[in-house]
Amino acid sequence: MLNTAIWNVRGLNRRDHQVAVRDLINQFRLHFIALLETRVLHSNATRIQSGVLSRWRWFVDYAGPGNRIWIAWNDDLIDVDILNVDPQYVHCRVHFHELHETILITVVYGANDVSTRRDLWQGLIELAETVSNEPWLVGGDFNAVLDMSEVSGASGDIRVAMNEFNECILQTGLLSLPMQGERFTWHNCSLDGRSLWKRLDRLLANDVWMDRWPNMYYSCLTPRTSDHSPLVLKGDCRNLQHPIERESPCPYHGLTALLASAASRSTA
């Protein structure tokens, strides 16, 4: 198994957020996890990392603005080489010891504004030109949707942002991995009736990946302590016979738990 997850945790300073990350790792026996929007100061990073995963290796680019992406891995099971670091993505090569497999993973945390995200789209296009016959997984919080069906609630005019994201997908040749679980991966946690849901988080892969592991998919879990769903890669990477079919789950699965979490945060 390529035991991998990506999660916009919306802060990692609080104890309950740290526990949620550890629980996710233990539940799915993860080897690799990327955490977005940790909001941890450089001076507190080592303490937080030791509290979450004391025996794992960590990568954080504190030289760049925002330390937006943290990556952690179990170096007893995998090796990770950081190849490229950008304010909106980290590109790395991952080797799984037991499987004797090497893959490329690009962890994405897209900027909030359309103009800055154009740098992300261009960066992914340039990365695609360097990837030849290696399986390539691209995932995270893109802060953009591909289609209006990925939005529920008043969101303003997002057509330009949506079209530019689609153009990036077209030029990179990336494909959407099959997804199960929550249809929308982010919620604004509004308690005043102005709820907004979007599918901002996703996993994409190149055709080499799809040909090699047609049974791989990912689950969008209940957001837990965050406003974003964790994305967990699943499927037997050694079973190549029958590709999994896509599911179309109810978009409001987990709504009660999410609103309860939002209410507890507002009173904390």
Q: What is the CATH number of domain 4-267?
A: 3.60.10.10
Report which residue type is found at 32: F
d(CA 266, CA 54): 31
Domain residue extents for the chain: 4-267
Report which residue type is found at 62: Y
The pLDDT value given to residue 66: 66
The pLDDT value given to residue 233: 98
253 alpha carbon, distance to own chain's centre: 19
Reported as half-sphere exposure (CB side, CA atoms, 13 A), residue 111 has a value of 16
145 alpha carbon, distance to own chain's centre: 14
Phi/psi for 222 (5° steps) reads -60, 135
* Average pLDDT per 10 consecutive residues for the chain, totaling 268 residues: 93 96 97 96 94 95 80 97 96 94 97 96 98 96 96 85 98 97 90 85 98 96 96 77 40 40 44
The pLDDT value given to residue 238: 60
Asked if 117 and 162 touch (Cβ cutoff 8 Å), the reply is: no
The pLDDT value given to residue 239: 47
* pTM for this entry: 0.88
Which parts of 87-135 are beta strand (E)?
Answer: 89-96, 101-109
Nearest to 6 by CA among 268, 244, 220: 220
The pLDDT value given to residue 102: 96
The pLDDT value given to residue 61: 84
The pLDDT value given to residue 105: 99
Residue 223 tokens read as 């957001």
**137: part of which helix (H) or strand (E)?**
strand 136-141
